[in-house]
């Protein structure tokens, strides 16, 4: 009887692994193509070339400028704008939804787990 139970457990586990792979592989392929699509949209549609005289506080550079840290995701300050104006006449800035990935992750979390706040309240 013990041997029969063990055989059933092994067969049951292999079926679960197959179903997990049947979901996991298409999900990985979808994520790869979605990421490639999002990167393409980001490089084509959400960049704009502006004169440095038109820069405003909070603009996000999409290219590196000498004298500034390599990636500024929080936006330019007035002092940084002055440094950029000394270095270049035109720069590429990013436009669009700054917190877009956060909204996407929140949507996925809501889809998977439902109302996360109610879930946390129920747990604690």
Residue 11 has a pLDDT of 55
Mean pLDDT to the nearest integer, 47-71: 81
The count of other CB atoms within 10 Å of the CB of residue 1 is 5
Tens-place pLDDT, residues 27-49: 899 999 999 998 888 888 888 89
| C-alpha separations of 60 from 11, 75, 98 in Å | 55, 5, 9
Task: Indicate yes or no: pTM above 0.95.
Answer: no
The DSSP secondary structure of 38-64, one letter per residue, reads HHHHHHHHSEEEEEGGG--TT-EESS-
Cα 114 to the center of its chain, rounded Å:
21
**Residue ranges covered by each domain of the chain:** 1-45
CB 20 within 8 A of CB 50: no
């Amino acid at each position: 009887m013990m041997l029969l139970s063990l055989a059933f457990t092994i067969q049951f586990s292999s079926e679960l692994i197959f179903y997990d792979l049947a979901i996991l592989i298409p999900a990985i392929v979808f994520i790869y193509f979605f990421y490639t699509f999002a990167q393409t949209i980001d490089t084509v549609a959400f960049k704009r070339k502006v004169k440095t005289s038109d820069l405003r506080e909070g603009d996000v550079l999409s290219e590196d400028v000498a004298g500034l840290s390599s990636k500024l995701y929080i936006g330019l300050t007035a002092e940084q704008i002055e440094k950029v104006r000394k270095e270049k006449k035109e720069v590429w800035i990013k436009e669009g939804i700054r917190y877009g990935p956060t909204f996407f992750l929140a949507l996925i979390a809501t889809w998977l787990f439902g109302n996360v706040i109610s879930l946390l309240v129920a747990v604690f």
